[in-house]
Structures are given as C-alpha cells and as structure tokens.
Amino acid sequence: MIPVIVHADAALVVADKPAGLPTVPGRPAELHDCLWERVRAEYADALVVHRLDMATSGLVLFARGIDAQRRLGDAFAQRRVHKRYIAVADGLLAADAGEIDLPLAADWPNRPRQVVDPVRGKPSQTRWQVLARDTAQRRTRVQLEPLTGRSHQLRVHLAALGHPLLGDALYAPPDVAAAAPRLLLHASEIGFAHPADGTPMHFRRPAPF
C-alpha cells in the first residue's frame, strides 16, 4: 500500500490513499502507520484537513502549515470543497439520479457505526448518479457527491436506499460484504480554491476497481 502524491506545492499536498491505510494514526499499535505519517516523511509540515475511512481509497488533502490548514478547514466548514466518489452498489438502482436527505447520528452501542436518526441525527445530503448497471451481476456503478460531510455518510445513505456498497463490512449484509475483496468506494475528485491565492484547483484519480 503505497500512497501516490498527486500534487504538492508550498501550501498543500494532495495524496491518493490506498484502501486499508488509515488517514491518521489509530489507537492500536498496528494502525500507527497511516497516510499522514507517510506524507510527513516527505513534507514534514503537512497537517490534516480532512479524513477518509480506512476502507475507502482516494484523494486526501493536507495543508502545509497552520495558516493553510485554517484556510482549508474553513473551506470545508463552509462547503466550498467539492468532492466526488465512485462506488459499486448492490442491486440495480431504478432511477438514473437522485438525492438522499437522511439525518445521521452515531450508533453509540455499536460504534463506529452510524444510523439514520430523525430525532438526534444531523442533516446529511448525498447526490448520486448512475454510471452503469450490470444486470447480470445485479450491481450498479454510481457517482456520489456528498453535500455534507458526516462520518460514513455515503455508506449509510446507500444502505438506507436499499443498495449497500459491495465489500462494506459495517453496513452491508454478509453476502454483499463478501462480494468484493475491499469496500468499493473511492474518492475520485476534489476541487477547492488554493489557500494562498484562490486559484481554482481540481484533481481526479480513477477508481482502482
């Protein structure tokens, strides 16, 4: 699992995280190796701005220095960072596109799971679009655009729609979880304004599945 540095300049680093590698150190000693540590081996001033689930692959943005971290963090908070994901879902989605609007909350007895909770949940929206349908295997390749950034949002929303992601050990039934060797979810695109001068930045990495 070797991350690819997609872009680096004086203010930021964009890396392509492989599936199975944590973004930041985990509590067990075996999870201390992470994308952040590997990026810092080359860019010592790299700081965390956002994260991907360990099982998810794709583009992760790091800031270089506190000022860039603050500016990029503000951009995420104000929803000025645009991300798209590629995923493979179980079943054949009937419509070609849509939007999921379901509030999410932590499932405290079963952490780190999240649940749809209309009472305690925080507003969560995901826009989706069908890219291809495999009628023989009854699965759908979709593009996902999170309009909010809740933990496990894409995985919970697709499962709530009745189409859990292949390889998802947390939210898919056993047969769907076993249908792929990894979670089929990849952060394929990220777009934002450069923290130094506002130049539009956009990066894309194809899904490895």
Q: What angle do CA 137, 140, 143 make, to 5 degrees?
A: 155
Report if residue 201 sits inside a domain: no
Q: 196 Cβ partners below 8 Å, 6+ apart?
A: 10, 11, 68
- Residue at token pair 């999410």: 104
CA 6 and chain centroid, separation: 17
Report residue 30's pLDDT band, with 50, 70 and 90 as the boundaries. low
Q: What is the pLDDT of residue 32?
A: 75
Residue 22: pLDDT band by 50, 70, 90 thresholds? Answer: very high
Shared domain for 93 and 180, answered yes or no, is yes
Per the DSSP assignment, residues forming a β-bridge with 86 are: 143, 186
Average predicted confidence (pLDDT) for the chain: 96
Residues 74 and 115 in one domain: no
State the pLDDT at residue 27. Answer: 72
Residue 202 resides in a domain: no
How many structural domains is the chain composed of? 2
State how beta strands 57-64 and 185-193 pair: parallel
Reading the block at residue 138, the tokens are 């009854």
Residue 110 within any structural domain of the chain = yes
What range does the domain containing 74 cover?
Answer: 4-81
Q: What residues are annotated to the active site?
A: 53
Given a cut of 90, is residue 26 above it in pLDDT?
A: no
